[in-house]
């Protein structure tokens, strides 16, 4: 019984912090976007990428 109550208290205390973390992960803010030149020397084209903090890179589009 004591073990069950202790486990419930620990889980109950961790849930609000976990919920806040999940909320932050669902709504990324302040992306850093920019144009990047291609790595191929034979053709000249550019790609537009955005970096979302805590999420990673997102490819948007490219242009000649």
Place of tokens 């208290």: 9
Place of tokens 């805590």: 54
Neighbours of 51 (CB within 10 A): 14
Instruction: Assess if residue 5 is contained within a domain.
Output: no
**Can you give 18-52 as a three-state secondary structure string?**
HHHHHHHHHCCCCCEEEEEECCCCCCCCEEEEEEE
pLDDT score at 33? 93
- Give yes or no for residue 52 having a pLDDT over 60: yes
Say how many domains are in the chain. Answer: 1
Instruction: Assess if residue 17 is contained within a domain.
Output: no
Please tell me which residue, 56 or 11, carries the higher pLDDT value: 56
Instruction: Assess if residue 59 is contained within a domain.
Output: yes
Instruction: Assess if residue 51 is contained within a domain.
Output: yes
Q: What is the pLDDT of residues 16-44, one digit of tens each?
A: 665 565 665 666 778 899 998 877 778 78
pLDDT score at 29? 77
Instruction: Assess if residue 8 is contained within a domain.
Output: no
Instruction: Assess if residue 55 is contained within a domain.
Output: yes
């Amino acid at each position: 019984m004591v073990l069950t109550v202790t486990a419930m208290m620990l889980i109950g205390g961790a849930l609000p912090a976990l919920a806040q973390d999940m909320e932050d992960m669902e709504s990324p803010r302040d992306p850093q976007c920019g144009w990047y030149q291609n790595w191929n020397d034979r053709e000249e084209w550019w790609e537009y990428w955005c970096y979302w903090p805590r999420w990673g890179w997102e490819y948007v589009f490219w242009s000649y």
